[in-house]
Structure 1
């Protein structure tokens, strides 16, 4: 219900703002909101050739392509005059994201089709793990901890192993594997959900822990920073881990208090201490490496683990081939069957993702998002927050809505202020310390047709806010 109302609010408010802007003269056209593409110039006005200043008129006529660009620099938007069909069109600035119709197209071609491919492959592997008995053994080992965190889940339930694989994939930056494992976990949790239209306690806990974004190897962030010529691309690793870990603990405590979980359980404390010890151990190892060693380690660890999971699954399936025979199937047929289920899941979540991304596109292109972000930045500046921090806030504000959009702000902030500036580093921490909340909710709850997400959205947004505050404190401390 909350998600539905929020979706309607941003959709309707964006449309109202667009219409008001058009009729008050603040916008010349709204066609770009429907048909424009990201980074296209925005049409501000159109005049007859005699209505423009003389020096512009002469420059346009003398130009080979009858186009004139003024104020060309790396920071401010260019103003472009294009003479065509007896009129001069004046463009300035660029579009922040694709328009409504291009977003529909790119959601299918650039997002859903690749996602379906990932789902097909990893769901095929998951089916092999299920038949071979690996998931059952993993669930049995981890049950003592998971039944404390998820009291409503029966002991040794298959969802435990799926959630473990999802957390592990996120932890190691394996995004392509994390989503299929997570969707499989949601499907498994839905089987024991007494009210199929309403998110269960276990599903909410899983979603909030997943969305808190605990990551050890921020491979993509390091890549962006390297491309922006950062002196040490991996210097944000420790702040990213600290921020995302605090976000994860916050999510666990907030949801745990709501669900009245027993935090004094011995197995829960042992599990948490083991996780902390593992993180500290890896941090100590990475910290003693030189720059080349850190880059080599972060570039290869995640890839090696993913290859290891694939190899382990296939080898185990070969060893346990008798179990496949007993199930009246073969290893290959089992993989195909699992991949088939992955394709069906991808088709199911498409409308949910499409609806959310189109609303976000409209929200950004309407200009409403920029106005809100400017108000927030102004409020922070009045509280004495430095400009270096407020310049990074657009990444934090857009991150819950769109990973691609916030990534664009991240790259822009590093190009504008420098990858080694506080703004560039803080933007990097914002980008890697949380998930795209609205996208995640649309995908995960949509995959099992959950209509009422209860308090999941509000909790996830609260955790996002905690991550933002933590990132600012950690970045200010480190840099």
Structure 2
């Protein structure tokens, strides 16, 4: 219900605002909202050549391409005059996101097809895990911890295995693997959900922990910083780990209080302590490496572990060929069955993804997002908050709505303020330590057709806020 109302609000608010701006003459064209592409120049006017200052007319006539650029503080703020058949087209700024129609088109080619491919492959691997009996053994091993966090999930239930793999993939920064595991976990939890249209406690807890995204190896963030020639691309690694760990604990406590979970459990405390021990040990090892060794380690560890998991599942399935035969299958046919299930899941969740992405496109291109983010930045500046922090805030504000959008703001912050500036580093931690909340809710609940998400959205947004505050505090301490 909350997500539905939010979706309606941003569509109505954005549409009314952009139409009002057009009616009052504050914008010249709204074609970009419907048909434009991300980073295209925005048309702000068209005039006859004679109405321009003489020096611009002369420059346009002399230029081979009939263009004149009035340079702004950054290339994004340049004003470009283009002469064509006596009419000068004036453009300035860049479009924040694809328009509605390109978003619909690109959602199929850039999002749905890759997602279906990932889902099919990893769901095939998961089917081997199920048919070989490995999932049951993994669930039995982890049940003492999971029954405390998920008391409504029966011990040894397959959902425990899927959630474990999802958390592990997030832990290693393997987004492509985390989504299929997470969707399989939601489907498994839906099987024991007594009200199929209402989110269960277990589904809410799982999704909030998933969104908190405890991360050990922020591979993509390090890659973006390396591409921008950071002095030490991996120097944000420890702040990312600390911030995401704080977010995970916050999610556990916030949802746990709502669900009256007993935290005085030896198994639960041992699990949290073990994670902290692993983090401390790995960070001790990583901090002793030089920059080349550190980059090599972080670039390879996630992929090595992913391939090791795939190898372990396939090898175990090979030793259990008899179990497959008893089910009238072989190892490859089991993989194919799982992959086919992944294909169906990908198709079923696409309408939910499309609806959310179209709304976010409208929200960003209307200019409403910039008004809100600018107001928040000015509010913090009033209280003397460091400008490096306010410069990075657009990433934190946009992150719950759009991963690609917040990534664009992160890269822009690196390029504008410097990759090793406070804003550049803080933007990286913001990007790493929070999740695309609205997208995740739409995809995961859409995959099992849950309509009433209860307090999921409010809890996840509160966790996002805690991650933002934690990132600011941690980065202020480190940098």
If the length of structure 2 is used for normalisation, what is the TM-score? 0.99
**Secondary structure of the corresponding residue to residue 263 of structure 1:** coil
Aligned to 1:274: 274
Contact (CA 8 Å) 2:401, 2:437: kept in 1 or not? yes
Aligned to 1:313: 313
Contact (CA 8 Å) 1:75, 1:416: kept in 2 or not? no
Aligned to 2:100: 100
* Aligned CA-pair RMSD: 0.9
Give 1:181-200 correspondences, 5 Å limit.
181-200=181-200
Give 1:8-19 correspondences, 5 Å limit.
8-19=8-19
TM-superposed deviation, 1:218? 0.2
Per-residue CA distance 1:45-83 (angstroms, 9 max, x = gap): 111121111221222122222222121664551111112
- Paired with 1:53 and 1:231, the residues of 2 have a C-alpha distance of 45
1:256 and 2:256 equivalent?
A: yes
Aligned to 2:49: 49
Give 1:57-136 correspondences, 5 Å limit.
57-71=57-71, 74=74, 77-136=77-136
Per-residue CA distance 1:270-310 (angstroms, 9 max, x = gap): 11111111111111111111111111110110000111111
- Paired with 2:183 and 2:11, the residues of 1 have a C-alpha distance of 27
- Paired with 2:71 and 2:125, the residues of 1 have a C-alpha distance of 55
Per-residue CA distance 1:99-129 (angstroms, 9 max, x = gap): 0100011111001110000000000000001
Aligned to 2:446: 446
Q: Which runs of 5+ in 2 are unaligned?
A: none
1:380 and 2:380 equivalent?
A: yes
**Secondary structure of the corresponding residue to residue 26 of structure 2:** coil
- Paired with 1:299 and 1:384, the residues of 2 have a C-alpha distance of 38
Contact (CA 8 Å) 1:60, 1:68: kept in 2 or not? yes
**Secondary structure of the corresponding residue to residue 77 of structure 2:** coil
**Secondary structure of the corresponding residue to residue 392 of structure 1:** helix
- Paired with 2:279 and 2:348, the residues of 1 have a C-alpha distance of 36
1:203 and 2:203 equivalent?
A: yes
**Secondary structure of the corresponding residue to residue 98 of structure 2:** coil
Structure 1 residues 75, 387: CA separation in 2 closer, same or farther (over 3 Å shift)? farther
Aligned to 1:391: 391
**Secondary structure of the corresponding residue to residue 91 of structure 2:** strand
TM-superposed deviation, 1:86? 2.9
Aligned to 1:329: 329
Contact (CA 8 Å) 2:3, 2:457: kept in 1 or not? yes
Contact (CA 8 Å) 1:396, 1:468: kept in 2 or not? yes
- Paired with 2:178 and 2:386, the residues of 1 have a C-alpha distance of 36
1:462 and 2:462 equivalent?
A: yes
**Secondary structure of the corresponding residue to residue 419 of structure 2:** coil
- Paired with 2:134 and 2:282, the residues of 1 have a C-alpha distance of 26
- Paired with 1:61 and 1:333, the residues of 2 have a C-alpha distance of 69
**Secondary structure of the corresponding residue to residue 262 of structure 1:** coil
TM-superposed deviation, 1:259? 0.1
Runs of 4+ in 1 over 2 A off after TM superposition: 72-76
TM-superposed deviation, 1:317? 1.3
If the length of structure 1 is used for normalisation, what is the TM-score? 0.99
- Paired with 2:55 and 2:232, the residues of 1 have a C-alpha distance of 48
- Paired with 1:113 and 1:233, the residues of 2 have a C-alpha distance of 31
Query: How many residues were matched structurally?
Result: 479
1:32 and 2:32 equivalent?
A: yes
- Paired with 2:16 and 2:134, the residues of 1 have a C-alpha distance of 54
Aligned to 2:246: 246
- Paired with 2:76 and 2:215, the residues of 1 have a C-alpha distance of 35
**Secondary structure of the corresponding residue to residue 391 of structure 1:** helix
- Paired with 2:412 and 2:327, the residues of 1 have a C-alpha distance of 54
Q: Which runs of 5+ in 1 are unaligned?
A: none
Q: Which shifted more, 63-72 or 359-368?
A: 63-72
Contact (CA 8 Å) 2:127, 2:334: kept in 1 or not? yes
- Paired with 1:192 and 1:7, the residues of 2 have a C-alpha distance of 29
TM-superposed deviation, 1:313? 1.5
1:173 and 2:173 equivalent?
A: yes
- Paired with 1:347 and 1:30, the residues of 2 have a C-alpha distance of 32
- Paired with 1:236 and 1:65, the residues of 2 have a C-alpha distance of 44
- Paired with 1:81 and 1:389, the residues of 2 have a C-alpha distance of 35
- Paired with 1:85 and 1:103, the residues of 2 have a C-alpha distance of 32
